[in-house]
Structure 1
Amino acid sequence: MQVQLKPGVRLTVVPVSQFKNTQISVHFLEKATQEQTSYRSLLANILETSSQKFPNQRLVSEELSNLYGAGFGTSIMRKQQIHDVTFSLAIANDHYLNTQGALLTQGLAFLKEMIFKPLLDQQQFDSATFKRQQANLVTYIQALADDKQTYAALKLQQLYFDQNEVQKIPAFGEADTIAQIKNRDLLAYYQQMLATDAVEIFVVGQVTLAEVQAQLSHWPLAARAIEKIDIKKVQHDQRVMRVQTETQPVVQAKLNLAYDFPTDFRNAAYYAGITFNALFGGSPLSKLFLNVREKASLAYYASSNIDVFNGLMVVQTGINTADKARVLKIIEQQLTDIERGEFTDENVAQIKAGLVSNYIASLDTERTYTARALTNNLVKSAVTADQWINAIQKVTREEIMAVAKKVRLQAVYFLSAEGEENA
């Protein structure tokens, strides 16, 4: 059930009775720029930890305890160019506590406080809070370089999206930019975000649209004239393949590959693309896992995953530096085998069974309902669980082969052990 509270502000209520919690999430959406991505990341950290009524994390935690152990947090994500700052609250369902709607009211009041009443001092964020969260976020991002699997993934992202200034940086921004943000500038941006971002509010649980709408009518969200926020069809332009090798004192080399992938979200090849990925490298029954890791013993790990919003497939492997050429060859062979139909119907049936099982299991959380509802709004279509499962079951081997033929390697990032540059 949906209603537009104000122009640019939409409420979606998903009334389900199987959960003991009610999940509330408030999403601020905009078409991000490179600089604003870092601003939004720092904002999310600051707004999670304090407010005027709860000026420190201890008092925030105490209030959550008063709300029967509610869970609260902020998060950031990006779908294509759309950057999402989310405030989430999970509270116990009033029906199980016999509180007659009081807990939902208190929870929404807490969210309103955390979003709209930040801790301020002299027309800027509280100085101590700002400095602490800025330093923490910079330290966190810089520390990611020590996790070589994450480091390699971010370097491949930068390489693949070389011509896209937003997509080539992570959704949490850049340490150098965050370190340079001024307190007053961040407050000005926060006020801009509240006034101009598209707002999507989701409530999942044993609630009604009327009771939620009545309480949100008191929130200070004005009408906003916004540019259309939705997911666009991916355009795969012809590009030169990019290759980068970097040497560091690592024990385990990282070989990551990025491919143009021929599916957008819910286009004609969407379900075949999901099935192809699970067969190629996205499951324990995949060709990469069985043939690269298990049979050939050429990788500590080898897997693939797809980003259907950007039409991208990524292969990640951890290998010995000297095995690079062999691993590249065997990965290419797995793709060729699928193109030629060299896989059994039994294998596909097992792959589909795994996909359906994982999908059904994912429906056991309130957060999944929220994520699906947001995606439905952004792509302007809705798919029920039964429709999704039926579509997976109907995928043919010919459709899987057709996807494989359109997969195109576009970027290779290799993090090599020092002294092995030419491996």
Structure 2
Amino acid sequence: MIGTNENIMEANGFYLHTVPTKKFKTISITAKFKAPLSRETITQRALLQQVLQQGTQSFPDRSALQMKLDSLYGAVLTMDSSKKGDYHMMTVRLETANQKFISDESAIMDETIELLKEVVYNPLSENNAFIPSVVAREKDTLKQKINAVTDDKMRFANMRLLDEMCSDERYRLHVQGYEEDLEAITPESLYAYYRSMLREDQLDVYVSGDVDVNAMETKIKSAFMRDEEQNSVAVITESMKKQDHPQVIIEKQNIQQAKLHFGYRTNIAFGDDDYFALHVFNGLFGGFPSSKLFINVREKNSLAYYAASRFESHKGLLFVFSGIAPKDYQQARDIIEQQMDVMKNGDFTEEEMANTKELIINQLLETMDNSKGMIELLYQQVVADTERSPETLIEGIQNVSKDDVIQVANKLYLDTIYLLTNEGTDTDE
């Protein structure tokens, strides 16, 4: 249906994934560095991806780097940090025009690869340290990003839910880092960590677009060199706690709209047989405007400004998010829990199942129509250390039965309820 043709090879200490496709007129090269989530390193990684974008040895400031990108027909360089399950990823992505569509520009691809190599391996530095003024500036920028979470009450509530739900697990860690850790980071220590990341992280490089696989493999292999064999980061397994009763955390601030978030344990991850049914369960429960949560909490009872659910593919968690009037806490909580009971009892139709499957599959197809989305979907297999292509994922979803969804629903259990509400609200808890 999708026809994804992913070629994977191990070379020079990293995994190279080439994904030839004529769907895109651009060529995307994405380098993903994977390491276990760690409080000791998470703030450094968040800061590092900002510092690396500020210049290289050949292009010593952001302006010079941007001019080089512009000369490559508007190439776009982006970096970000993210977490999937118990791992932390730093992503470097460079997207450029395909030279096939530009006359007399056969060197674009070579220049693009050379620039990406420069960004990754030759950042602006001196005497084994990043430039102090750059580090200081980016520390301030990161501090602002960290503090901005407090102002976004939905993100803040989700962060606090994870703080409490995963208090003794890696997944609680904030991907943007911690303000209190910034002061101890020096230009020298950050550079030392950067060098260790190059040596020790698992590195996967993706190339997608209308490319010649053999030619691209040769070019990328010569650009990304490592001194030792690839480091396949060990699979992390943390035992899941199970409580007799969900913990309820209530916090109060001077806000008008309360945030009511639920955290469930699914104990189902990307590589598990039940993963397909979990996908369908989430679609029925809270993944779409046609879901139980949206219709019953928001539409029928007008209790929520929004009500939705999503699941974490690699950690075995499912979250419910809702924005409510502070006075409606107990009623909204009751109706959300009732919708879970509805799912456990199989109170949904085959037609609802069919419509939800169609929505999920269309969503996956739309993701694959975007170069960045396609690579993220393919990378799920790396994180899960399993082979499950997009085609397999779609086929699995198509084959999910009603009984499969009911079985998944009955595996879920409520771990934590988090309420962020108004200071004057009586919650009776």
Specify if TM > 0.5.
yes
How far the C-alpha of 1:246 sits from its partner, in A, is: 0.8
The reply to whether residue 402 of structure 1 matches residue 415 of structure 2 is no
C-alpha separation between the residues in 2 aligned to 1:336 and 1:65?
55
Deviation string, structure 1 residues 225-266 (Cα, Å, up to 9, x no partner): 666426556743323633211110000001111000142113
1:98 maps to which of 100, 103, 116: 103
Rate the CA distance shift 1:231–1:80 in 2: closer, same or farther, 3 A. farther
Is 1:169 aligned with 2:167?
no
Match in the other structure for 1:150: 155
Q: CA deviation at 1:352?
A: 1.2
Q: CA deviation at 1:52?
A: 1.5
Instruction: Go from structure 1 to structure 2 and tell me whether the alpha carbon gap of 1:69 and 1:227 turns closer, same or farther (over 3 Å shift).
Output: closer
Partner Cα distance (1:148, 1:52) in 2: 41
Aligned partners of 2:60 and 2:124 also within 8 Å? yes
**Residue number in structure 2 paired with 1:327:** 332
- Whichever residue aligns with residue 422 of structure 1, its letter is T
Q: Report the Cα offset of residue 5 of structure 1.
A: 1.4
Could you tell me how far 1:149 is from its partner in structure 2? 0.7
Quote the residue 2:198 is aligned against: 194
Q: What is the CA distance between 1:62 and its match in structure 2? A: 1.0
Structure 1 residue 286: Cα displacement:
0.4
Task: Give yes or no for contact 1:255–1:319 (8 Å, CA) kept in 2.
Answer: yes
Asked if the contact 1:160/1:410 (under 8 Å) is kept, the reply is yes
Quickly say closer, same or farther: Cα 1:319–1:376, change in 2 above 3 A.
Answer: same
CA RMSD of aligned residues (A): 1.8
The amino acid of 1:5's aligned partner reads A
Mapped partners of 2:105, 2:56: distance in 1: 27
Q: Does 1:210 align with 2:214?
A: yes
Over 3 Å counting, the alpha-carbon distance change for 1:99 and 1:177 in structure 2 is: farther
2:240 to 236, 239, 247: 236
Which residue in 1 is equivalent to 2:277?
272
What residue is the counterpart of 1:3 in the other structure?
9
Q: Which residue of 1 aligns with 2:305?
A: 300
Is 1:196–1:224's contact at 8 Å kept on the other side of the alignment?
no
Indicate the larger mover: 215-224 or 260-269. 215-224
Point out the more displaced range, 74-83 or 108-117: 74-83
Aligned equivalent of 2:70: 65
Cα displacement string for residues 127-185 of structure 1 (whole angstroms, at most 9, x for unaligned residues): 11111111100111112101111110111111111012x32122221121123312211
The residue identity in structure 2 corresponding to 1:4 is: E
Give 2:250's match in structure 1, choosing from 231, 245, 249. Answer: 245
Displacement of 1:219 after TM fit? Answer: 3.1
Partner of 1:179: 183
2:83 aligned with 1:78? yes
Please point out which of 254, 265, 269 is paired with 1:260. Answer: 265
- What amino acid maps onto 2:222 in structure 1? H
- Using the TM superposition, give the Cα deviation of residue 195 of structure 1 relative to its aligned residue in structure 2, in angstroms: 1.7
TM-score with structure 2 setting the length: 0.93
Between the aligned residues of both structures, percent identity stands at 28
Structure 1, unaligned runs of 5 or more: none
Q: Are the structure 2 counterparts of residues 378 and 148 from structure 1 closer, same or farther at C-alpha, using a change threshold of 3 Å?
A: closer
Give 2:383's aligned residue: 378
Distance 2:361 2:211 in 1: 28
Output the amino acid matched with 1:184: E
Q: Name stretches of at least 5 consecutive residues in structure 2 with no aligned partner.
A: 1-6
Structure 1 residue aligned with 2:3: none
Question: Partner residue of 2:354?
Answer: 349
SS of the aligned residue for 1:158 comes to helix
Q: In 2, Cα distance between the equivalents of 1:123 and 1:143?
A: 32
Question: Counterpart amino acid of 1:127?
Answer: P
Cα 1:85–1:99, aligned 2, differ >3 Å: closer, same or farther? farther
1:141 maps onto 2:154 in alignment: no
CA shift in 2, pair 1:234/1:331, >3 Å: farther
**Quick one: which amino acid aligns to residue 11 of structure 2?**
L
Of the three residues 390, 393, 407, the one matched with 1:388 is: 393
Contact kept, 8 Å, 1:13 with 1:208, in 2: the verdict is no
Retained in 2: the 8 A contact 1:258–1:314? yes
